[in-house]
Structure 1
Amino acid sequence: MFSEFDEARLDDPAVLADYDDQLRRLATAGARIRSEALDARIPADLTMTPRGVIVAGAEARLIRAVLEPVCPVPLIAWPLPGLPGWVGALDLVVVLASEAEGYQSPALMATVAEATRRGAQVMLAAPEDSPIAQMISSQAIQVFTRSDDPTAAAVAVLAQLHNAGLGPIVNTENAAEAADMVAEESTPHRDLSSNPAKDLACALADADPLLWGGSVLAARASRRLAEAIRAASGRHALAADADEILEVLRHVKPHDPFADPFTDEQQRRTVLVILDDEHSGEAEQQSGRSLRETAQRSGVRICEIGAGQGSEVDRYITLLMQGLYGATYLAIGLDGQEGRLGADG
């Protein structure tokens, strides 16, 4: 037997009040993006022509995904303490440490210390009074963060990297507006009939979802959403490439609509969640068509999350926030029962 999802909880003011902290944090994502973009200190005599870029810390892979197609120099996301042996004075080291886990991290402190020792240019996103911020020199690019939101800090860093000629245009106000628009559509004050995030939660109510993103950034958003679903429900949630998901879909057992939930062994339904970036290439669009066709043949429900318009970063924020709202409403409908039971996620 599985814990029962109660969709009435999604429109119950008393229940929603119990989740006010989580919902308020989602609603203020746009404000955090604006706040993080306010305070960046760049040395007046700085000339930015690095030999290579090394990114470390929270959302390093997001930075890499945005920069990689256009960055004029080699770029890596570095997951280990310290730095690769080849990094020197001609390189730029970007460190994102807006959360306590980051700015108190011995590994990231070792990265900053090593970059400073080797004379590399450092860009640091962290609170001004944090231990890691005290380690940088006056020649560092300082993006002082005011919240513990790694995505907001990443958007601020991406804007500075564009200004340095290393990445695409990133308009922080547009990114914030993208988050605001999702918050308006997904507010708890909108009932289930007109709330796409609550509708997504209902679709996931008795499901083990398969998630696929139709571009590099949409794929990253799908992985973030899978993590959120696992945390909210304690269930399986798989974000993978199209070929892997196709193989799973081909082996899905048909759902028995006549099964007795009280006497028959129950399995959760498989649901395909497509994070649809309409600006993806032809190969990704063909993969999306194959997934939809295979899911339909297998009797698998398809849920689509649209990225809307705007830049790559705007569309990523739109996909991510819609997914996070949906995962939060899933937790509300379940009242965290399955997560508390310690189900495999």
Structure 2
Amino acid sequence: ADEAGLAGLRPDGRPRTVLVAGSGPDAAAVADLLTALGSATCPVQALAPTGPSPERSRWTLPGWAGSLDLLVLISPHGTEQGLTDLVEQAYRRGCSAVAVTPAKAPLADAVGQVRGLALPFAAAGPGATALDPATDPGADTGAFWALLAPLLALADRLGLVTAPAAELHALADTLDETAARCGPAIATYSNPAKTLAAELADALPLLWSQGPIAAACARRFAAVLGTRTGRPALSAELPAALTLHGPLQAGTHALTADPDDFFRDRVEDPEGLRLRIVLLQEAPDRPGSAAPAAREQAYAHDTPLSEVAAPGGSDLHIAADILALTDFAAVYLAVASTERP
């Protein structure tokens, strides 16, 4: 990002609105997390694509978008014609454009032609190319961070979030620490990601979150579970989740036989829908938290419950800890799914 000229950027105040466009679920997740980290200092809006197919997606700027707004385009490929066309729209409206995409990609060239800023997308390794998680189960979940990190540096320059270079280096250390704690070499009994994956096997996760950052992480986890494992998941914020998912817990479809009952007739009494609550918190229970009520409702309906809570730190560190752990859990679930006969 520094090599692309970000260090020399001298913005004249904050943009009125940051508009985020990109293909795949990462665009919405990036916009969601930037909104949570920015604490409403500047509205961040994801632009929803239209079109007959994902390969032919098109994006349109809102009618009010203009010179006071910033368009952010994210793409690990940089070949989407719809995003290139969106750069032209932004130029005609006088809207500034920034892209995170591979260098020399068509999207980077288009942004350069309108005097925008192209921040490089760093692939996983030399010669590596980004895979689409919707079509390739081997897609790298780390691509999300390769897209987000340059935008965090940009947001810091614009005054939207606090993410100086030292904070970003500390963020990388947090991700490394989580990888060491949740990596494949660590046994399940001391590996929180493997434990969570085992608990979610053959279950429908209800992702209940406490706090805006945890909520963004929950929605990202639900998207990753869908794209990486083919498993559905429902996310909701507390305390609304208690009423939103309460009928689902109490419904007849949730009253299935105990899967641990050795003497259960597997033919006459097959397994049905098993719910499992995953409570994601930015920190352990604080005064006024709805977490105790969530545990009480889970206990009342005999719904198993798993908990994911960050150990503390800055908002960026909290997001990194939760996102990395849940990404590892999704990968382990995907591996377990492909290994089944």
Q: Aligned partners of 2:311, 2:67: CA distance in 1, in Å?
A: 41
Residue 42 of structure 1: how far off its partner (Å): 3.5
Equivalence for 2:170: 174
**Greater length-normalized contact order (CA 8 Å, ≥ 6 residues apart):** 1
Matched, 1:318 2:321: yes
Equivalence for 1:302: 305
Matched, 1:130 2:105: yes
Q: Aligned partners of 1:79, 1:334: CA distance in 2, in Å?
A: 31
* Residue identity in the other structure for 1:67: G
TM-score, with normalisation over the residues of structure 2? 0.77
SS of corresponding position for 1:291? helix
* Residue identity in the other structure for 2:104: D
Residue 298 of structure 1: how far off its partner (Å): 1.1
Matched, 1:55 2:24: no
Q: How does 1:1-20 map to 2 (within 5 A)?
A: none
Query: Aligned match of 1:165 in 134, 159, 169?
Result: 159
Do the aligned partners of 1:198 and 1:329 also contact (CA within 8 Å) in 2? yes
- CA gap of 1:303–1:112, structure 2 versus 1, over 3 A, is same
SS of corresponding position for 1:289? helix
- CA gap of 1:260–1:232, structure 2 versus 1, over 3 A, is farther
Matched, 1:253 2:249: no
SS of corresponding position for 1:175? helix
Equivalence for 2:336: 333
Do the aligned partners of 1:87 and 1:120 also contact (CA within 8 Å) in 2? yes
Q: How does 1:73-92 map to 2 (within 5 A)?
A: 74-80=43-49, 81-92=59-70
* Residue identity in the other structure for 1:48: D
* Residue identity in the other structure for 1:77: A
In the alignment, structure 1 segments of 5+ residues that lack a partner are 1-36, 339-345
RMSD (Å) for aligned C-alpha atoms: 2.6
- CA gap of 1:219–1:118, structure 2 versus 1, over 3 A, is same
* Per-residue Cα deviation, 1:145-204 (whole angstroms, up to 9, x for no partner): 222413332122122111122333362112212211111011111112221111112111
SS of corresponding position for 1:157? helix
* Residue identity in the other structure for 2:276: V
Q: Aligned partners of 1:330, 1:127: CA distance in 2, in Å?
A: 30
- CA gap of 1:42–1:119, structure 2 versus 1, over 3 A, is farther
Residue 268 of structure 1: how far off its partner (Å): 4.0
- CA gap of 1:311–1:93, structure 2 versus 1, over 3 A, is same
Residue 254 of structure 1: how far off its partner (Å): 6.0
Q: Aligned partners of 1:92, 1:305: CA distance in 2, in Å?
A: 34
Matched, 1:206 2:202: yes
Equivalence for 1:276: 281
SS of corresponding position for 1:136? helix
Residue 302 of structure 1: how far off its partner (Å): 0.8
Do the aligned partners of 2:111 and 2:117 also contact (CA within 8 Å) in 1? no
Q: Aligned partners of 1:62, 1:104: CA distance in 2, in Å?
A: 25
Residue 273 of structure 1: how far off its partner (Å): 0.7
* Residue identity in the other structure for 1:90: L
Do the aligned partners of 1:215 and 1:280 also contact (CA within 8 Å) in 2? no
Residue 239 of structure 1: how far off its partner (Å): 1.8
Matched-pair identity in %: 29
- CA gap of 1:77–1:140, structure 2 versus 1, over 3 A, is same
Q: Aligned partners of 2:278, 2:151: CA distance in 1, in Å?
A: 30
Equivalence for 2:270: 265
- CA gap of 1:116–1:336, structure 2 versus 1, over 3 A, is farther
Do the aligned partners of 1:197 and 1:322 also contact (CA within 8 Å) in 2? yes
- CA gap of 1:308–1:38, structure 2 versus 1, over 3 A, is farther
Equivalence for 1:113: 88
In the alignment, structure 2 segments of 5+ residues that lack a partner are 50-58, 124-129, 131-142
Q: Aligned partners of 2:7, 2:193: CA distance in 1, in Å?
A: 43
Paired positions, count = 295
* Residue identity in the other structure for 2:102: P
Equivalence for 2:40: 69
Do the aligned partners of 2:19 and 2:46 also contact (CA within 8 Å) in 1? yes
